[in-house]
Structure 1
Amino acid sequence: MPPITTPQKHRKPNHSGDLLRSPANVQEDGVQFIPVARTPGLPAPEQLHHPRFPRQTPAKKADRKRPLILCCAALCFVFAVVLIVVGVVTLVVFLVIKPRNPGSTLPSFLNGDLTFLANFSNPNGKIDVQFEFVGVELYFRNTLIAAQALQPFAQRRGEVRLQSVHMISSEVFLSPERERELQDQVNGNRVVYTIKGTFKVRTSLGLIHITYWLYGLCTVELSRPRAEFLWPKLVEPSGD
């Protein structure tokens, strides 16, 4: 009796290459193969996670981010260049100009403002006087610090006249010794000034006219501005 043979199934070859069998559904016998669609140009399903075929990312996202990255890089470059230029300019200016810290000193010059009333009187009962020249000088320790000339005026017999005298000292140089004395007197709340007056007087008695010079000397002591006390001393007139 001849041996019994099992007929083998013949598989129809896939000539088009568009259908593949999935490895998970492959069996040797008695199993129907499930066709899987394959797109031309793409790897097979079993090759999607293969090391030789990495996942592909869309190129459009990279193309969109590239201009933004280039813009940020350009801004950073420009900012760095500006910082470098500013630093170099600052260094050059500092080396050329060589700035120094400002300082303050007390100069040996006096600026002052003194106003007082001068009393001019004519005690003669029968003689009129004419002040043709009136000059007033202000001294501190024999140092002239201000001078003022007054307008000529006349006084009748027995007349009394009050004249305002405004003395201004502008950048008067004081020696170191005089400067120390003035500072000590200011700290002691009593500053001593000397006022000298020079007067050219003309008297008239009828047809007789006499002209002569008078000199006055007065010492004045001043306290602080909050009190503003004047301590006048005796005026010592002298004449030629």
Structure 2
Amino acid sequence: MFRQEETNPHFLPRQNDPVLEFPSHSRHQQRDRRSTRTREKPPHAPGGDRPTQQAVPPSHHVEAPPQRSHHNTSSTTPAGLMSPAHHSTPQETPPPPHHTAATPQSHYTTQTSRRSHRPSLLRGPPSQKTKPLAWVIAAFCALFWVIVIVGGLVILIVYLLFRPKNPKFDISAATFNAAYLDMGYLLNADITLLANFSNPNTKVNVDFSYAILDLYYEKNFIATRYVEPFALMRSETEFANVHFMVSQVRLSMGHRMELKKQMDSGRVNFQVEGLFRTRSKLGGFLQYSYWLYAHCQITVTGPPTGILLDKKCITKR
């Protein structure tokens, strides 16, 4: 096999450089070393001058990266000499790889794949058993809502079945018997009303456990009267005679002048307010209580033979 001569001037030996010799371990290595020195000794040019070496500008010279030998030898070969193990055809040094920047997509894919193999640090809370108190509260809430829903359905069914209506209050008749001013500003009067209580329901009975009527003149309270409790059957009407005695009620100068003017004209205005506590009975198993409020505006003629001329009554809950 033939050895290829070194062409790089940097690896050629110089005459002034000392030659490093290493102890040999075999005759075969010494023989190869002598033959290599004889063959690589450059011929002298005529005139005894040293052979000129081609200089490479340092600015344009690029050193090749050193190659690491994959063979473990017992001795170290000096620069410019080749060991017998490398007598085969030399391989060209591959050019240094061009490092290209990874694209953002490949970098993101790599990070994602790495993260996917990492164990997750987020863990759900450990399962806990429900306490008995929580079960009791949940059962109570469920029972409460069941009662509310069932009660609402029952009320709806009862309302659609009985169609309950509020009782009505009205004034059928009124008499203005007497009225005069004592000492010029104290009112004394005698007024009688025929009150009418009616039950418009055909399937519901109504009881009046509390009933009171108040009499006003120009928004001034002048008398009150209590009515005894009574009951109204289905579609029944009850009349009550209510007698008001007005005694020593102080009126202002303006109200005194207005009363005299109305008595002279024959049209005196009064207001009647009613408050009633009623109870409706739906059949024989269900009943409920509520308050009723009545407001009436009446007009009567002057005393002593005053009669009812006009009325307007409103009853509401």
Q: Quickly name the TM-score band, shorter chain normalised.
A: 0.5 to 0.7
Residue in 2 that maps onto 1:145: 222
How far residue 137 of structure 1 moved from its aligned partner, in angstroms, is 0.5
Q: One-letter code of the match for 1:228?
A: G
Selected match of 1:214 from 285, 292, 295: 292
**What secondary structure is seen at the aligned counterpart in 2 of 1:185?**
helix
1:51-70 equivalences under 5 Å are: none
Question: Following the alignment from structure 1 to structure 2, what is the Cα–Cα distance between the partners of residues 177 and 225?
Answer: 21
| Contact 2:210/2:277 (8 A) holds in 1 | yes
Question: Following the alignment from structure 1 to structure 2, what is the Cα–Cα distance between the partners of residues 232 and 126?
Answer: 33
How far residue 226 of structure 1 moved from its aligned partner, in angstroms, is 6.3
Per-residue deviation, residues 164-198 of structure 1 (Å, max 9, x unmatched): 01011111111111111111111211100011111
Q: Is the counterpart of residue 173 in structure 1 residue 220 in structure 2?
A: no
| Contact 2:212/2:226 (8 A) holds in 1 | yes
Residue in 2 that maps onto 1:160: 237
Q: One-letter code of the match for 2:309?
A: W
CA RMSD of aligned residues (A): 1.5
Residue in 1 that maps onto 2:96: none
| Contact 2:185/2:256 (8 A) holds in 1 | yes
Residue in 1 that maps onto 2:307: 229
Quick check: which one's strand share is greater?
A: 1
Residue in 2 that maps onto 1:43: none
Question: Following the alignment from structure 1 to structure 2, what is the Cα–Cα distance between the partners of residues 212 and 124?
Answer: 16
Runs ≥4 in structure 1, deviation > 6 angstroms?
A: none
Equivalent residues, number: 135
Question: Following the alignment from structure 1 to structure 2, what is the Cα–Cα distance between the partners of residues 233 and 173?
Answer: 26
Q: One-letter code of the match for 1:153?
A: F
Selected match of 1:194 from 262, 265, 271: 271
Q: Is the counterpart of residue 131 in structure 1 residue 211 in structure 2?
A: no
How far residue 136 of structure 1 moved from its aligned partner, in angstroms, is 0.4
**What secondary structure is seen at the aligned counterpart in 1 of 2:312?**
coil
Residue in 2 that maps onto 1:55: none
**What's the TM-score, normalizing by structure 1?**
0.54
Selected match of 1:184 from 261, 265, 268: 261
1:96-111 equivalences under 5 Å are: 106-111=183-188
| Identical pairs, percent | 36
| Contact 2:264/2:302 (8 A) holds in 1 | no
Query: Tell me, which stretches of 5 or more residues in structure 2 are unaligned?
Result: 1-181
Q: One-letter code of the match for 2:218?
A: R
How far residue 229 of structure 1 moved from its aligned partner, in angstroms, is 2.8
Of the two, which has the highest radius of gyration? 2
Q: One-letter code of the match for 1:186?
A: M
Query: Tell me, which stretches of 5 or more residues in structure 1 are unaligned?
Result: 1-104
**What secondary structure is seen at the aligned counterpart in 1 of 2:266?**
coil
How far residue 160 of structure 1 moved from its aligned partner, in angstroms, is 0.9
How far residue 106 of structure 1 moved from its aligned partner, in angstroms, is 2.9
